[in-house]
Amino acid sequence: MTSTDTTAAAAGEYTFDSASTEGATQVRLLADILDGHSIAVLEQLDLAPDSTCLDLGAGAGSIAAWLADQGAPQGHVTAVDQTTVRIPAHERITAVDADITTHKFGTERFDLIHARLLFMHLTEREQVLARAVTALKPGGFLVVSDWDCTHLDEMIVAASDEVADAFTAFQHALISFGTSNGMDPAWARRIPAAMADAGLRGITTSVFNKLWAGGEAGMLLHASNSRQLEAGLLGHGVTREQLDTLRTAMTNPQVWAYHWPMYTAVGVRPTH
């Protein structure tokens, strides 16, 4: 895929492009929206300071950087992404440029593997998850977070009918376009079962959502996504006028909306 902002992905390819200008905005906004939730989950794991961690689909690298900061002085984080330019330089982070569907996990074993908003985009998600589990140390944690995109019409709570209609049309176009590229909008609900099938135990889950006002990160993400994917979205039932209406609304503090619920599951590799 090229680094232009409006190029449509081919079937089976990642829908977005973190190397593009809007892709940079997207992964930064994802960090702003979700890091508080992810860090709260990770803090509960009480990892040792010398832990080895693997962040799959690391995006802006904010979680990799947080883990690396926790792991001083001996811990280490490997951050894998097909676009590593957004991952910050850090003495305890190794950035690996790789397609996770073909990536060889090698012989290193990790105390923690984290993957946020990656598996929902992979057509081989169960297989990659099972391979990731083999890269965990006994007692190691797998933490997987993805949006549940199955309820799109209930996300907006304050707006005119025109804005609500544009928002709904945009959401449906986004999910339809993403699904045509292999994304699964309902995968988040299956994470615990996939973890159990892959041999993990002690599985726990949490759900995060928040109401955002126009101008805040959760709303700016929708506007950014609408720009990054415009060419693809227009073929999936939303009009250019509706995208314009959406973008204006997402900066209006009188308009409020939820994002998709974020489902996070934690599983532990048994010690024997």
Q: By CB under 6 A, name the binding residues for ligand SAM.
A: 14, 18, 27, 30-31, 34, 57-60, 81-83, 99-101, 116-118, 121-122
Q: Which residue is nearest to ligand SAM (CB)?
A: 59
Q: How far is the CB of 163 from ligand SAM (least distance, A)?
A: 25
Q: Which is nearer to ligand SAM, 60 or 159 (CB)?
A: 60
The answer, yes or no, to whether the previous bond of 253 is cis (omega within 30 of 0) is: no
Distances, alpha carbon 218 to alpha carbons 32, 42, 258, in Å = 8, 22, 8
Q: Which is nearer to ligand SAM, 19 or 152 (CB)?
A: 19
Q: Which is nearer to ligand SAM, 182 or 242 (CB)?
A: 182
Q: Which is nearer to ligand SAM, 226 or 242 (CB)?
A: 226
Amino acid at 39: I
Q: Which is nearer to ligand SAM, 103 or 239 (CB)?
A: 103
Tokens of 16: 């977005």
Task: Starting at the earlier edge strand, list the strands of the sheet with 52-56.
Answer: 93-97, 76-81, 52-56, 110-116, 136-147, 262-268, 201-208
Q: How far is the CB of 35 from ligand SAM (least distance, A)?
A: 8
Contact 207, 261 (CB under 8 A): yes
Q: How far is the CB of 159 from ligand SAM (least distance, A)?
A: 26
Distance CA 141, CA 223 (A): 34
Q: How far is the CB of 252 from ligand SAM (least distance, A)?
A: 25
Distance CA 233, CA 114 (A): 30
Q: How far is the CB of 7 from ligand SAM (least distance, A)?
A: 14
Query: Which residues does 107 contact at the CB level (< 8 Å), separation at least 6?
Result: none
Q: How far is the CB of 226 from ligand SAM (least distance, A)?
A: 15
List phi, psi (to 5°) of 180. -65, -20
Q: Which is nearer to ligand SAM, 81 or 159 (CB)?
A: 81
